Amino acid sequence: MAENNEGMLSPYRVLDLTDERGFFSAKLLGDLGADVIKIEKPEGDPGRRFGPFFHDIPDPEKSLFWMGLNTNKRGITLNIETAGGQAIFKKLCKTADIVIESFGPGYMEKLGLGYKALEKINPRLIMASISGFGQSGPYRDYKAPSIVLWALSGQGFVTGESDRPPLSPSYPIPYFFGAMQADIGAMIALYARGTSGHGQYIEVPTLLSLAWAVGSDPQGLWLNDKTIVMRSGRYWPRPQPRPDGTVEYVNVPLTYPCKDGGVKFFPFVEEGMLPSTNGMTQWAIEEGFGNEAAKTVDWRTLNWQTVPQKTVDEVTGCFERLYMAHTKAELFAEAQKRGVQLYPVFTAEDMLNFPQLSIRKYWEKLAHPELGTEITYPGAFTQLGEGSCRIRRKAPRIGEHNEEVYIKEMGMSKKDLSLLKQAGDI
Amino acid sequence: MTTRPFEGVNILDFTWTATGPATLNPLAFYGATIIKVESRGRFDALRSLGPFKDGIPEPERSYAFAYSQAGKRYNITLNMGTPKGMELIKKLIKWADIVADSYSTGTMERWGLDYEGVKKIKPDTIMLRTCMHGHTGPLSKQHGQGFILTALSGVDSVISWPDRAPSGAYGPFTDYIAPQFNTICLIAALDYKRRTGKGQYIDQSQHEASMQVISPLILDYTVNKRDITGQGNRLTYAAPHGIYPCKGKERWCAIAVFTDAEWASFCKVIGKPSLAEDPNYATLLKRKENEDALDELVEAWTQHHTPEEVMKLMQASGVAAGVVSNAKDMAEDPQMKHYNFFVEREHPVQGKIPFYHGPGFRMSGADYEIGRSNLLGEHNDYVFTEMLGLSDEEFVQLVSEGVI
């Protein structure tokens, strides 16, 4: 093959039966070189209906959601609900290493394609099932769109602003946690197979995959003081336990407005972070925004558990006035000079113009002859010394690799293909 | 038959804060042996980050540290700035299959332990280096953390109300996103090494990894020149779609109605079946058009019910809904309990800690083991005398010299 497909996972084949919950999962294995075959319904994958769309034209071949999350996959159409389609799927399983699916719990079993059945065909096969809540338990059959997972995982309660309801992302971030946890499980199974010779089954409840990312503040404070951490918008409240066992909070800003957008900065007082915090304070003073509080604050001895809100407001007020006098680009440039840990809230344009990313050759331009253009993509998720992690091919069109897989690799004839198409199997 | 897939895999862990343990925990859960290196002069920064047990800010009392260190480890202290300390570290590098660090460029270099240095000690080492911007380019030395990297990665931008500046993710959200790429890579590298005998160098920019998640939104810019924005709790192809106030103080429930059939079910649940026929709400387009009035209608019902009631009634009728869980709800959630998500461990200083947790998946042929966070230097004796073979005299001498 002319195409360089040498990644760490190049000996392995992945069959991808996922929808939007799991697209990312098989894609990452493809980024590392696995031969991923995306299996779509004959009419195309339901995930193609999600926008954004190329030039805002709603068309299954123009979904940017599809295009962004299905690179490094070949695409075939296959109806796994017909007997003919199931026979083909089983045949594919014989030479596959990993199957990833994200249908509802029990769906694959109902078709006779559950792990117990597939394991008989290929004992080395690994199968990962991504679902909202898992294959068992009281919520098993609950519907699990992104906002519901975000809510039940504990993320929702702490996200958003105090004067509005809890806030959920406008993009299905929970699905990506389930997808990545599925990959970790599949990779562990692959490694285990190297010694045991057997595959295994992995179930991935997205709820669990997301719940651990809530972090220690909500969990620790509930446990310790029976207090519930509330959402606090741009502030990161630091707990102040009182002798009577109650907990008060001091609100410390984490996000600030600036002249043309926003920046993020937190005055950490942990030892390794002091240069950044001191540097920020010095900067505000040098530019004439310092007040008495900023000039006298000693970050080495400042204790978040005792510092009064008034002091915090006075010092961070100086930062805020400085930020409002500058653009985010100016602030970021100066922060780097001073060793201050400050980041601007990036727009997409800022990302594309960020020199560090261009220097590391992050962006990859892929030709899209079918759209008469080329498109810039985020490229490798990591840089490797051995074998590549990169985009090897753009996302497949519907059935783009039917001939390649069914005829060249599985030895079917053109006539077979035509019959299967008419039978609704592919 | 269950197995411990990573039994015999040794990891030398120089990482600190959250990214490192999030990367390595899954390997520890499934049997890898990890030695975490700290020093008494400069211990893991998370040990200084609250909240603290009983509100006392001491290194062994941090919940932030405990929460992150759920995988079993050995913990040693070593002064890397001393020749004897360096001698010991070289022995441990020879012992390790994986060496991991999470410093920006400069720290490992100062000790001569960048990939080139480590390779000289052990040529087939798998080395993971993760930092904000990767180890090449002008920002390789830039310090940072996940609390602010969310701004650079676009994650904050999708969590916002349309009429306000981004509210942003809660906490260091990219510290939970970026490590998962590392874990995938490390296991692939272990497999690759087993097949080819070759080591690996993984240079992760947490910024680059985190942006992968929103790649369709980045394409929306590169193709359509549209910026990344948030729409509050609304979704273009569902209505009602939001988080609604329920009975009680700060009690909320998420509800999402996608299809007309779900809308009809929703109307039945709230006791207004005829509403399904109301031309103002009968189709998605109409529901989107009248979404403000629709949301008021939903709230008028939800505020008389607990979020648990809302969830159960809706889900029983095929409508997506979920309690907006706080920490107490999470601890009591029946689905989380079904999967034994939170596990209690006894900590020598903090006592019973019930928030340790395993991976986000379950495997049919391998059990995971959850450890507990370690005290500073808790395993010095074991690692230096039993594993590395120092005599008791040598060990005591090194402790008194401040090397260990």
Q: Do B363 and A202 touch (CB under 8 A)?
A: yes
Task: Read off the DSSP letter of residue B235.
Answer: B
Q: A236 vs A408, B39, B303, CA distance in Å?
A: 58, 29, 29
CB pair distance less than 8 Å for B338 and A257: no
Handedness of CA B3, B335, A157, B229 (dihedral sign): positive
Distance from CA of A178 to the nearest CA of B (A): 7
A312/A186 same-domain check: no
Who's near B278: CB < 8 A, 6+ residues apart? none
A interface test, pick of B212, B221, B345, B367 with most A CB neighbours within 10 Å: B212
* Cα–Cα distance measured from residue B287 to residue B275, given in angstroms and rounded to the nearest whole number: 12
pLDDT digit string (tens) for chain B, length 404 residues: 457 999 999 999 999 999 999 999 999 999 999 999 999 888 998 998 888 888 888 999 999 999 999 999 999 999 999 999 999 999 999 999 999 999 999 999 999 999 999 999 999 999 999 999 999 999 999 888 899 999 999 999 999 999 988 888 898 999 999 999 999 999 999 999 999 999 999 999 999 999 999 999 999 999 999 999 999 999 999 999 999 999 999 999 999 999 999 999 999 999 999 999 999 999 999 999 999 999 999 999 999 999 999 999 999 999 999 999 999 999 999 999 999 999 999 999 999 999 999 999 999 999 999 999 999 999 999 999 999 999 999 999 999 999 99
Q: Judged by CB atoms within 8 Å, which residues 208-247 of B form the interface with A? A: 208-209, 211-224, 226-236, 238, 241-245
User: Among residues B271, B293, B326, which one ends one of the domains?
Assistant: B326
**Omega into B123 within 30° of 0, i.e. cis?**
no
Chain A residues touching B223 at Cβ < 8 A = 52, 54-55, 64, 375
CA dihedral A124, A129, A135, A141 (to 10 degrees): -150
Domain membership flag for residue B356: yes
Q: Do A150 and B148 touch (CB under 8 A)?
A: no
Q: Looking at the structure, do residues A167 and A246 belong to the same domain, yes or no? A: no
Substitution target from B69, B243, B263 for chain A, most A beta carbons within 10 A: B243
Q: Based on the fold, state whether residues B166 and B48 are members of the same structural domain.
A: yes
Give yes or no for a contact between B267 and A180, defined as CB atoms under 8 angstroms apart. Answer: no
Q: Which residues of B are catalytic?
A: 175
pLDDT of residue B1: 47
Chain A's closest residue to B67, CA to CA, is A216
> Which residue of B148, B211, B331 is in closest CB contact with A343?
B148
Burial label, A371 (beta-carbon count in 10 A; 0-12, 13-18, 19+): middle
DSSP H helices, A216-291, are 216-225, 274-286
Are residue A385 and residue A331 in the same domain, yes or no? no
CATH code for position B352:
3.40.50.10540
Is position A332 within any domain? Answer: yes
Q: Given this model, what pLDDT does residue B2 score?
A: 55
Question: Could you tell me if residue B320 is inside a domain?
Answer: yes
Single-letter residue type at A122: N
Same domain, B319 and B343: no
Distance between CA atoms of residues B321 and B227, nearest Å: 30
CATH assignment at residue B245: 3.30.1540.10
Interface test with B, best of A24, A259, A383 (most B CBs within 10 A): A383
Residue A2 reports pLDDT greater than 90: no
Decide: residue A6, CB within 10 A, 0-12 exposed, 13-18 middle, 19+ buried. Answer: exposed
Tokens of A91: 């045949």
Chain A residues near residue B245 by CB distance under 8 angstroms: 165
A241 touching chain B per CB within 8 A: yes
- Domain end marker among A305, A328, A347: A347
Is there a domain that residue A353 lies in? no
Are A183 and A328 part of one and the same domain? no
Q: Which residue of B has its CA nearest to A20?
A: B216
Cβ atoms of residues A218 and B63 within 8 Å = no
Question: Does B26 lie in the same domain as B151?
Answer: yes
Q: Which of A241, A357, A377 sits opposite B219 (nearest CB)?
A: A377
What distance in Å separates residue B391's CA from the closest CA in chain A? 34
Chain B CB contacts of A69 below 8 Å:
215-216
**Does residue B179 sit at the A interface (CB-CB below 8 Å)?**
no
SS3 B266: helix
pLDDT at A3 over 60: no
CB contact under 8 A, A151 and B322: yes
For residue B320, what are the β-bridge partners? B256
| Alpha-carbon distance values, B263 to A183, B317, B319 (Å) | 35, 10, 8
Structure tokens at A46: 């339901």
Q: What is the pLDDT of residues A408-423, one digit of tens each?
A: 999 999 999 999 999 9
Q: Positive or negative CA dihedral for B158, B161, B165, B168?
A: negative
Does residue A182 share a domain with residue A40? yes
Q: Is A353 on the interface with B (CB under 8 A)?
A: no
Can you give the CATH number for the domain in which A17 is found? 3.40.50.10540
Cβ pair B169, A283 in contact under 8 A? no
Residues B59 and B155 in one domain: yes
Q: CB of B349 within 8 Å of any CB in chain A?
A: no
Parallel, antiparallel, or unpaired: how do β-strands A13-17 and A35-40 relate? Answer: parallel
Structure tokens at A317: 């007020």
Cβ of A359 under 8 Å from any chain B Cβ? yes
A185 lies in the same domain as A333: no
> What residue has token string 């100062």?
B110
Structure tokens at B180: 């998962």
What's the ipTM?
0.98
Output the CA–CA distances (angstroms, integers) from residue A170 to A173, A230, B207, in the order listed.
8, 21, 20
What's the CA gap between A7 and A33, in Å, rounded? 4
| Distance of alpha carbon A122 from alpha carbon B100, whole angstroms | 36
Query: Within a domain: residue B222?
Result: no
Q: Which element (helix H / strand E) includes B37?
A: strand B33-38
Pair (A108, A253) in one structural domain: no
Residues A400, A255, single domain; the answer is: no
Q: Is A159 found in the same domain as A48? A: yes
Identify the CA nearest to B369 among candidates B400, B399, B345: B345
Nearest chain B residue (CA) to A51: B216
Indicate whether A311 and A194 sit together in one domain: no
- Identify whether residues B262 and B161 lie together within a single domain: no
The pLDDT assigned to B144 comes to 87
Contacts of A223 in chain B (CB under 8 A): 63, 327, 353-355
A216 neighbourhood in chain B, CB within 8 Å:
51, 63-64, 66-68, 355
Same domain? A238 vs A185: no
Check: pTM over 0.95? Answer yes or no. Answer: yes
Task: Provide the domain limits for residue B97.
Answer: 10-213+339-400
* Digit-coded pLDDT (tens) for A165-180: 999 999 999 999 999 9
Instruction: Give contacts of A 364-393 with B, CB under 8 A.
Output: 375-378, 380-387, 389
Of A347, A363, A392, which marks where a domain is finished? A347
Report the number of distinct structural domains present in chain B: 2
Residues from chain B contacting residue A164 (CB–CB below 8 Å): 161, 232
Domain count, chain A: 2
| Amino acid letter, residue B213 | V
pLDDT digits (tens, 9 = 90+) for A279-338: 999 999 999 999 999 999 999 999 888 999 999 999 999 999 999 999 999 999 999 999
Domain that holds residue A340: 225-347
Contact with chain A for residue B339, Cβ under 8 A: yes
Altogether, the residues listed in chain B come to a count of: 404
Q: What is the mean pLDDT of chain A?
A: 95
Decide if B219 and A64 are in contact by the 8 Å CB cutoff: yes
Q: Does B390 touch chain A if contact means CB atoms closer than 8 Å? A: no
* B34 located within any domain: yes
Are B157 and A346 a contacting pair at CB < 8 A? yes
Angle A314-A316-A318 from CA coordinates, rounded to 5°: 75
Q: Is the pLDDT of residue A1 over 60?
A: no
Chain B nearest-CA residue for A340: B143
Subunit contact A351:B6, Cβ cutoff 8 A: no
What is the tens place of the pLDDT at every residue in A256-292? 999 999 999 999 998 788 999 999 999 999 999 999 9
Both B148 and B50 in one domain: the answer is: yes
Residues B73 and B151 grouped into a single domain = yes
Q: Give the gap in angstroms from C-alpha B43 to the nearest C-alpha of chain A.
A: 10
Co-location of B315 and B392 in the same domain: no
Question: Within this chain, do residues B322 and B363 fall inside the same structural domain, yes or no?
Answer: no
- Residue A5 has what pLDDT? 55
In the block, which residue shows the tokens 């970050």? A299
Whether the Cβ atoms of residue B102 and residue B178 lie closer than 8 Å to each other: no
Residues of A in contact with B133 (CB under 8 A): 356
DSSP summary character for residue A388: -
Q: Evaluate whether A17 touches A101 at the Cβ level (below 8 Å).
A: yes
**Of B119, B203, B398, B254, whose CA–CA distance to A380 is shortest?**
B203
Please judge whether A148 and B322 are an interchain contact, meaning their C-beta atoms are less than 8 angstroms apart. yes
Which are the contacts of A168, defined by CB distance < 8 A and separation ≥ 6?
A146, A147, A150, A151, A156, A159, B159, B233, B243, B254
Q: Do B252 and B291 sit in the same domain of this protein?
A: yes
> Does any CB of chain B come closer than 8 Å to the CB of residue A143?
yes
**CB within 8 A of A235, min separation 6: which ones?**
A251, A252, A253, A254
B261/B115 same-domain check: no
Same domain, B163 and B53: yes
Q: Are A235 and A302 contained in the same domain?
A: yes
